[in-house]
């Protein structure tokens, strides 16, 4: 019973982090947008099958999967960017506006390869 309470407390603390909530909202919105686009393309496909023109069927079959991939790539990229732009409290970047610079990546990699600690 103590382990369940410990787990619930850890989950409660994790969900109080605004970054977790924001990233979850972005990923959930991405899933909803992907689902909606799937339904829209399916409805358009049924209507296109009823027409005598073959080009609209071919176009919808060709475009539907890349459109869903594009929705997921943009959504996950936005969530990753949101995660990268939000500094953790107490980190060296928490004093700035949260924007990442080239030095955050290159300088950190050079310092790390030289054995220096942040």
pLDDT one-digit tens code per residue, 54-81: 898 889 989 999 999 999 999 999 999 9
- Both tokens of residue 51? 């027409």
Query: Is the separation of the CB atoms in 71 and 59 below 8 Å?
Result: no
% of residues, the chain, pLDDT over 90: 35
Percent of the chain topping pLDDT 70: 71
| Contact in structure between 33 and 41 (CB atoms under 8 Å) | no
DSSP result, the chain: -HHHHHHHHHHHHHHT-HHHHHHHHHHHHHHHHHHHHHHHHHHHHHHHHHSS-HHHHHHHHHHHHHHHHHHHHHHHHHHHHHHHHSPPTTSGGGGS-S---HHHHHHHHHHHHTT---
pLDDT tens digits along 26-42: 999 999 999 999 999 99
The confidence score (pLDDT) of residue 93 equals: 53
pLDDT of residue 110: 47
What is the pLDDT of the chain when averaged over all its residues?
Answer: 79
pLDDT > 80? residue 111: no
| Residue 1 predicted with pLDDT over 90 | no
> In which residue are the tokens 């949260």 written?
98
pLDDT at site 107: 47
């Amino acid at each position: 019973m103590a382990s369940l309470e410990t787990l619930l407390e850890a989950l409660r603390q994790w969900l109080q982090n605004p970054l977790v909530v924001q990233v979850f909202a972005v990923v959930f919105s991405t899933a909803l947008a992907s689902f909606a686009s799937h339904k829209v393309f399916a409805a358009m496909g049924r209507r296109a099958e009823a027409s005598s023109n073959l080009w609209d069927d071919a176009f919808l079959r060709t475009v539907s999967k890349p459109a869903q991939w594009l929705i997921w790539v943009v959504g996950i990229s936005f969530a990753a960017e949101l995660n990268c732009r939000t500094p953790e409290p107490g980190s060296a970047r928490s004093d700035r506006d949260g924007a990442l610079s080239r030095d955050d990546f290159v300088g950190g990699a050079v310092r790390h390869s030289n054995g220096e600690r942040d």
